[in-house]
Every structure is written in C-alpha cells, then in structure tokens.
Structure 1
Amino acid sequence: MNEPSSASRTPFIIILILLLAITGVQYFFNFNGLGTDAAMDHAQIARNVARGQGMTTNWLRPIQMVSGSTRAGLNPFLSDAQIHEQEAIRAGQGETLVDPEKFNPYALRDTRNAPLNILTEAAVFRMAGVHKFDLWSMTGSSMIYLPDRIVVGISCMFFILSVLSCYYILLRMFDVTIACFTCLTMILSNLFLQYATSGLPQMMMLFFFAWGIHFLYTALQNKEENRAFLWPLIGSSICFSCVCLTGWIGLWPMAGFLIFAGIRFKPHGLYCIPGLITLLLFLAYPIYINRSLSGGFFGTAYYTIFTGLTGNEEIAMNALVSGSIPIAAQKVVTSVINNILTQGDLLYENLGNLPLAMVFLLALLHKFKRPEVNQSKWGIFAMWVPAVIGMAIYTSNKTGISLGQIQILFAPFFTAYGTAFVLNLIARHSNKELISILRGGVLLLSLLITSLPLLLNLPHIVRVGILTAGRGIPAWPPYYPLGLNRDLRTQTAEKDFILTDQPSAVGWYADRKAIGIPKMVEQFMVLERILKFHGGKVGSILVTPSSTSKMNLRTISSSYGEFTPLVLEGTVLFQTKDKNPVYIFDHSRALAPLAQRFGTPDSRQFIQGAEMILYKDLQKTAPQP
C-alpha cells in the first residue's frame, strides 16, 4: 500500500492550485447560467423543499397529472356532465369526488428525480435565503440569475472534492505519477468542467462513486491479507447507494457491484446480501413515497425508460397514458442494441476525451502484480457493463451532457488503469535511458490531447468573462432568465398554470406552475379539466426556441402534433414581420378552441421578440368545474 508521504505533498499542492484556478476560471468567467432542463428541475424542487413544502414540483408532467388525478378519484377522460353527476352522488354521501391528499396540482410531489442532490441544494438554499423568491429577483442589469451560481457552486465543490478524493485513492492503488496524471486530465478535460458547471448531479455521483471504489479496494486488500473485509464492503455499499440516491441511473452500476461482490467473496452469493440490504434501506422511503403517490415503485421515473427508445424523455412525460407513447414493442430490442453500439461510438467523447482511458479495455488483459489492484479492475468492469446498458435505455445517445450519461464516473479509473498498463509496457524496454523519455513523452502527449481544447480557448474565455462581468451572457437560445424571472412572472397570475415548451425554466426562473405541451388539443382539454377541480386553469402559453432550435420541420411536427402551428408561429412572424405578419396560430383548425382564448390581438406578448411569445388568456374568471 502506498500511503501519502511528504514526497507526495508537492504534487498534491500543485494539483490543488491548478484545480482551484481552472475551476475558478470556469465558474467566474465562463458560466452562462444553467443550460439543462434537469438542473433547473432539481433547483426548483430544492427551492420548494427549502420553503418547507416537501418535494413538490412546479413542473407538472401530464402523465403524472392524469395518473394522480385518477388515483385521487377523478377520471378526467369523462365528460363534464358525467363528472358533475359523480360529484353530486358523492356529495349526497357526504364525500368529495377528489381526495386532495392524493392529488393536488398546486402541491404535486415529484416522483421523477432522485432526492440526494435536491436535498443538498435545498439545505444550501435555506442557508442562503434562495427560498425567498423576491430577494433574488433579477432587478439589475445582470443577465445571469444569481441562484444559478449557487447551484453550480455546489456542483463545483463536489468536483473539487472528487478530484482530491481520486488523488488520494489512486495514490493508494498505484503511485504518485498515475495519481497526478489522472487528476490533471480531469482538471483539464472540457467535459469534466462542463459537468462541474452544469448544475447536474454527476459530480456528486463521482464523489460517492470514487469512495465506493476506495472501500471496495480496501475490502479486496483486506481479503488478500486475511483481515476482516465486511465493514469496508458495507462502506462501499453505502457509497454506491448514495450514487443511486443522487441519480437513479446509478442503480445500474450498483447491480454490477452486487454481482461482483457475490462472485468474488466466498461463500459465493453471501456478501452481496449486505449490499442489497443497504440499498433497500436507502431506497425504502423514496419507494414508499412513489408507491403511495403513483402506485408504482419507480413513480414517474419509470417513463424515462422511453428516452433511449424514443429519443426524447418528454414525449413520454407529455403523454396522458403509457399506452399512447409512440414506441412499438418489437422495436424495443433493436433500439436498445443500437443505443449500446452508439455508446461504444461515443465512448471516447463521453469519457472526457481522455486517450489513456480507452486503454482500460486492453488493461483488462494485463495481470497487475498486486492482487487487490488486479481484482479491482474487474469490479470496475462489472459495474461498467450494466451501466452501459442503462445508459442505452435512459439516454438518447446524442452529443452533449445529460442527466443519464455516467461514463464520466468511470473515466478517472479507466485512465489510471490505462496509464498503469502503458507504463508497465514501457518499463519492459531494455534501454533504461529511453524508458524515462518514453514515459514522459506518452504522458505529455496524452495530456496535451486532452487539454488542448481548453488551453486554446482559455485566453478568449478570460477576456470575454472580464468584458461581460457586469451583465454576463445567458444560455440563449433557448433560455432567457431575465425575461422569465421578470417579464413572465409579472404578466402571469400565481394561481394560473403555464403551458410551455420549457416548463423547467418557467418553474425555476419564474417560480410558476408549468405544464409541457402535449401533442393533441384534446389532451390539453383533459389536463385543464383536471385543473378545474382545483379552481385553476391554463392562464397562458409560452413558446420559446426550445421547441424549434436545431430541429427540422419533421421533428417539430412529430414532437408537437396539433400544436405545431403554435410553436412555429414565432419563426413565421420573424420572417414576415417587415411585410405582412402571418399569424398561423389563428388559421389552424385544430387549434381553433385555443385561438379563441389565446389568439386575440391583445393576447400576444413578445418577451424576446418573435422568438419568445407569451399567449395570455384574457378571460377574467377561471373556468368552473
């Protein structure tokens, strides 16, 4: 075992200084606000938790609304007359038709997200006062929402802790050269820095995952030395269970860990039981909540399985019933296999563009001298295989960062093993003088390949960051925090719901209840029928670049169905505004019932020109049930 010594302090200090410097540059000079739905979704739920409202959400998924309403006693697919008849019968029996304890759109519990990252953000929000919305309103000239920096600050903190943890763990497993090199690649990798400043929970997952590997390594080492290994194994189970509570995708590598523990430690099958019990204890409360609210163990998170099958999670979330999700059963196996192959195609990119990480698969064929190091690689591989299957199901395999993409968790350990394998091959060279040159050359070249994109852009990042320090550059398109936080909020009523193509942003920046746009007008009527029973209505419709950015007409039509003319109107207005503006919303036969409410001349409010339009329902009274 290579314990940290005074000889390793200087490299550690260099790593720490570089880590703080690069992270600081990204945080202060290259941050454009939150840019993913998942990060905003976590943040708005965390703010509600900080207010003492529990895990309630401002983002109402249509499929959860229908399911919850049905379980509460209201069948929204019945006509108004049938519902009134049922309500009268229940009233005669001294009962109400809808049980508000089971469903309330104004206090809808989230069953989509894992809780640990949200609860961590909520604790910080409470201390910082973010739960008081008016204290953080965007009243000045800044284009960056300050609570966004708090969210990302938490993510950056876990990035720093993860790098330092990896340094200590890899120093134990290998040596100072491999530990330093791996940490340098993490610090200088664009992908690691993107996740660190995204607000997504990957950095928290990486922190727990790294310590899970540490305890697994300790258990294997203790076994080789005939010492007690149960407690380190339980420690590893706790860490991997925390990964699961940070992101449900963590259940897949957890399954690999349980399989490995059951096979590696004798008697076979016995030592996976403590890990399974630990996992069930950690998941007991979330499962209980999901079961009571949705009738299923996995809640709304179950429908994320359609992300890899349809290419878009919201296609499933915006459906009213699971049977209407457009996926054929016979295509499921084909889609999953294709997605697994795509995971292989994107492996280098998803591992952070770390060249030596790719060598890990070759390192599996190499037998390392120390048994615990050699066995740990099979533990990591056993977790990676089911993780790839999980990512194939729960991600769309597109480029860019994603809540369900966790290759980044394996990247440091893949790199360490790949580096150790390459250095072992070099050490076999007969020329002693050439060995040091080859070692340095390989490590330097790999580091340059990883860091070159960042180093080339660093002067530009700093210069632009300094010039725009007062206002910042928002993640536009498609997100315009100032318009949502100030204009949208002042033009909408607190009790009204907003139908929009970016409900996560509306829920976070405007602190309003938002619903995703369904495909059919009839589906919209069903959703509003649910809201009627709680004295609410859809008070406005917000269309942003989220529905059209980087999409062709066929994709837009497939995603939005009968609402396609509505989401395209801004684009058409932008092209025709100088001559004779064309309002295609008003000319859609399918949207005629909505046009009567939201398509009047005074209804349209342009928040960001024709690219961001708010259609207001100017009726003064809410529809009655």
Structure 2
Amino acid sequence: MPGLQDLIHRLEEGAGVRVIRYALALFLFVALAVVYDVKCFRNFAGEEAMDTAQLARNIAEGRGYTTDYLRPASLALVKANSPDQNLQLTDRHPDLANAPVYPYLLAAWMKAVPMNHAILNPRKGLFRIHQPELMIAILNQILLLGSVVILFCLARSLFDEQVAWLASAIYSGTGLFWRFSVSGLSTSLLVLILLLLLSCLLWLERRGRDEPEGTSWKSVLSVSLLAGTLLGLGFLTRYAFGWMLIPVLGFVVLFLGRYRIAASVMILSMSLVISAPWLARNYRISGNLFGMAGYALVEGSLEIPDQRLIRSLAPDEVARKAGLKSVGRKLMGNLRDMVQNDLPRLGGNWTSAFFLAGLMIRFGDPSRGRMRYLVLGSILTMTLAQALGRTHLAVDSPEINSENLLVLTAPLVFLFGAVFFVMLLEQLELPKLPWLFSGVVV
C-alpha cells in the first residue's frame, strides 16, 4: 500500500516529524502555563497593573478612556487646560498616566471573554482568585507564546534550528517572564512587538545587502511601513519604548545600502503618523505631550523624591525645582546601580554570561554580526532610558515593574547566548548528544 508507506515515511522522516515536534512543544508550553497559574498566580500586587485594569474596564463598559485613579497632579493639569474651570471630582476624569495600546487590548479581551467581577465566592463567601485578573494573565501568556514563536523563527532564520530550539526553550523556561505574564503589565506585549520589529529589520538588511531577485522598492517600503507601525505601537504601549527609534534608525542608515534613506523616512513617518493623534490628545487635555509620563525625567531626583510631584496640585512648579544637574545626578546614580545589579543578571539566568563571551565571536554571515550590533545598541539605549525614567515604581517593586526596560532585550541575549553554547557543544565533537546536553543545561 504505497499510500500507507508514504504516510509512515512522512511521520518518521518527513514533514510529519516537524508537525509532531511543534505540537509537543505547544503542549509542553500549555502544560507549563497551567501548572504555573495553579501554583504561582496570586492576583495583581502592583499599582500599575491595577490602574491599567480599571482603565481597561472603563473602556470596555463604555466610559471611555477615563480613570478612577485620581492623581492630584493630573487633576491640576486637566483643570488648567480646560475651558471649564469648574470641574468637579464627580466628572469622568481622562487618564493621563497610561499609554493607550495595552489598555485597549485589555478592553477588547474583556469584551471577548466573559468576566466575573464579583469579589466573593457566592457559595463559600471567600476570596481567592479574582477571575478577570486571571484572564488578563492568560492573555499575557498567549502573548508570551507568540513571542516564543517569533524568537524561534528569528533564530532559525539567523542561525539554524538547533539554536532556535535552544533559545526558545531558555526563554520559555525563564521564570522572570512568567512572573511578568501574571503581573498584569504590558511587558509580554512589548517583547512581542520588539521581536517582530527586529524580524522586519533583518528582512530589510538582507534585501539591502544582497538584493535578491524579486526584491522591489514596493516590498522594501511595505516592510519599512510595517517596522514604523510596530515602533509606533510600541511607543503607544509604553512611552519609553520610543527610545528604540535611535538604534533602529542607526541600523537602517548603516546597513540598508541604497534603501537606507527611503526606509528611514518611511519608518520615521509611519511611527509619527501612528503616535501623533495620541500626543495631540494629551497636549490638548494636559498641555503636555506625554501627560503624566512627561515628568518621569525629574521624578525620583534629589529635589523631587518619592511621589511628591504626582501628589502636588502645582506639578509644573515642582518640576522646575529639578534642573539639568539634578537629572544628570539621577542618571549617574541609577546607571551605577544598574551596572552593579541589573546588567549582570539580565534575563534572570546564566545565558547573559554566554552572551558576553559570544561578543568575541566573528560571524561569517554579515547579518548575524549586524543584528548583534543592533542588540547591543538596544541594550545600551534601554539602559539609558531606564536610568533616566526611574521613579518610585521601581523602588516599590525593583524587578517586576513597567520601568524595567532591559528585560525587553533579554530574549535577544538568550538567542546570542545560545549560539555560543551550541558552538561549545560542537567543539566537544559529540554529534550524537548535542540535544541531550542542551536539554540538561536548560
């Protein structure tokens, strides 16, 4: 029976093996998610997650982009920039603290999935798990799965399937990202956006260098528009992500050959088109393009410690107390702390050591070396942005907070760390055991 023999061959050596392998990986990820949620989910603990969730609920229930978390500074800004100077606390207050993409995503999820906002169990009268918060955690774990898939595809395109499996396994098994997935923060979404952005840049770099047959200006401009869209969405997910514009444009200008000018213009223009309406909305309401986030540079400085600014009814006057020297002291102090603590344990596991050692490797494929430069530029940029924007949120929760920008680059560190580890395995000349060794180390 040729048909049966062909089916058996496909299952043993053909495409069937790959399908089975992917299905098994998906099953293991889902099983890990279930076990983690059962054992480790403890509802939201941070003010950022609760703030975003209540904002999303207001959107989902038709109350618009308004908040029940009233900050004195926000009230003062809205009143100062409103034609109606008799605003009441009973009025719906527009939110000025959160970028819009993640709250709107949560609102869509709340509309799509049944949410039970009851606090007490009607049968037992006990509170254990708030169901909407668990559903938000599940959404973030779906986003985590999506970023694992994109990392796998990126690693396989840059290197090979063994590196892709190892990097994806390390990422999937890192507890830090599971903690972020149940925190209610937008980190899982931002990692997915960043990996998609780098995939676009890799595609553009290869077309700009080799110009393979079939490459057209239309395709290059289309991917550039997609990259600009992702950059704009990342910025509207967390304003500090906008700093990624620096390494992205630097990469495009240096490595895209004759497409560099057109791609740079398209990326910058599209990101501005995406973000400009929201910035205009913030300016109209508060007189500040970034709303409350615009004060992050001076919050946490010696002159404005803790939450003094957001609790003030005259935030602009308080902000003027911190000059450039104060911001510089804040930057240097936070950089010193990050170099001593955050950078050495980037990603929460051993792979950062392999990444640092792998910086000495010279790759034959130019794309690999250029992407490594992009990763290094991203780490440097996020380090500076995190040091400048650090506020009381990072003090209240030093690791799991929205100001932790370095964690966004950790999957890329895992990728290049996995490359160095696989190269070490190959030097051992044990061709039959690399997968076993990889699995043991992971």
User: Deviation of residue 343 (structure 1)?
Assistant: 2.1
Q: Distance in 1 between matches of 2:376 and 2:382?
A: 10
- Within the candidate set 55, 60, 67, 1:57 is matched to 67
- Within the candidate set 266, 274, 280, 1:282 is matched to 274
SS at match of 1:331: helix
Larger Rg belongs to = 1
Matched, 1:340 2:335: yes
- The answer on whether the counterparts of 1:254 and 1:383 sit within 8 Å (CA) in structure 2 is no
- Within the candidate set 308, 312, 318, 1:319 is matched to 312
Q: Distance in 2 between matches of 1:296 and 1:5?
A: 55
Matched, 1:407 2:406: yes
- Within the candidate set 351, 356, 371, 2:351 is matched to 356
CA-to-aligned-CA distance 1:267-321 (integer Å, 9 cap, x gap): 5555321111111111122111101100121111112224553697633211222
SS at match of 2:296: helix
User: What pairs up with 1:94-493 in 2 under 5 angstroms?
Assistant: 98=85, 106-128=91-113, 130=115, 139=122, 140-226=125-211, 227-228=215-216, 229-266=220-257, 269-307=261-299, 309=301, 314-320=307-313, 321-324=315-318, 327=322, 329-347=324-342, 351-395=346-390, 399-424=398-423, 427=426, 429=427, 432-433=429-430, 441=437, 443-444=438-439, 446-447=441-442
Q: Distance in 2 between matches of 1:334 and 1:377?
A: 31
User: Deviation of residue 156 (structure 1)?
Assistant: 1.5
The number of residue pairs the alignment matches comes to 413
**CA distance 1:28–1:439, change in 2 (3 Å):** closer
**CA distance 1:127–1:7, change in 2 (3 Å):** closer
CA-to-aligned-CA distance 1:308-367 (integer Å, 9 cap, x gap): 536976332112223335756533212202212322223357633232234334434422
- The answer on whether the counterparts of 1:426 and 1:439 sit within 8 Å (CA) in structure 2 is no
- The answer on whether the counterparts of 1:238 and 1:278 sit within 8 Å (CA) in structure 2 is yes
Q: Distance in 1 between matches of 2:81 and 2:95?
A: 16
Q: Which runs of 5 or more structure 2 residues have no equivalent in the other structure?
A: 1-13
**CA distance 1:331–1:378, change in 2 (3 Å):** same
Q: Distance in 2 between matches of 1:242 and 1:153?
A: 21
User: Deviation of residue 165 (structure 1)?
Assistant: 2.2
**CA distance 1:116–1:158, change in 2 (3 Å):** same
SS at match of 2:347: coil
- The answer on whether the counterparts of 1:219 and 1:230 sit within 8 Å (CA) in structure 2 is no
Name the one with the larger helix percent.
2
Q: Distance in 2 between matches of 1:13 and 1:353?
A: 27
- Within the candidate set 16, 26, 31, 2:36 is matched to 26
Amino acid at match of 2:139: I
Q: Distance in 1 between matches of 2:434 and 2:34?
A: 33
Question: What's the TM-score, normalizing by structure 1?
Answer: 0.61
User: What pairs up with 1:562-573 in 2 under 5 angstroms?
Assistant: none
Amino acid at match of 1:117: Y
Amino acid at match of 2:85: V
**CA distance 1:120–1:349, change in 2 (3 Å):** farther
- The answer on whether the counterparts of 1:356 and 1:446 sit within 8 Å (CA) in structure 2 is no
- The answer on whether the counterparts of 1:111 and 1:300 sit within 8 Å (CA) in structure 2 is yes
SS at match of 2:97: coil
User: Deviation of residue 390 (structure 1)?
Assistant: 0.7
User: Deviation of residue 257 (structure 1)?
Assistant: 1.0
**CA distance 1:190–1:112, change in 2 (3 Å):** same
CA-to-aligned-CA distance 1:571-615 (integer Å, 9 cap, x gap): xxxxxxxxxxxxxxxxxxxxxxxxxxxxxxxxxxxxxxxxxxxxx
Q: Distance in 2 between matches of 1:242 and 1:425?
A: 39
User: Deviation of residue 15 (structure 1)?
Assistant: 2.5
Amino acid at match of 2:361: H
User: Deviation of residue 184 (structure 1)?
Assistant: 1.5
Q: Distance in 2 between matches of 1:198 and 1:391?
A: 19
**CA distance 1:162–1:294, change in 2 (3 Å):** same
- The answer on whether the counterparts of 1:307 and 1:313 sit within 8 Å (CA) in structure 2 is yes
Q: Distance in 1 between matches of 2:390 and 2:432?
A: 42
User: Deviation of residue 57 (structure 1)?
Assistant: 0.4
- Within the candidate set 76, 84, 90, 1:66 is matched to 76
- The answer on whether the counterparts of 1:306 and 1:312 sit within 8 Å (CA) in structure 2 is no
Q: Which runs of 5 or more structure 1 residues have no equivalent in the other structure?
A: 74-96, 448-625
**CA distance 1:158–1:439, change in 2 (3 Å):** closer
Deviates more, 1:343-352 or 1:169-178: 343-352
Q: Distance in 1 between matches of 2:429 and 2:80?
A: 75
**CA distance 1:340–1:15, change in 2 (3 Å):** farther
CA-to-aligned-CA distance 1:482-512 (integer Å, 9 cap, x gap): xxxxxxxxxxxxxxxxxxxxxxxxxxxxxxx
Deviates more, 1:221-230 or 1:203-212: 221-230
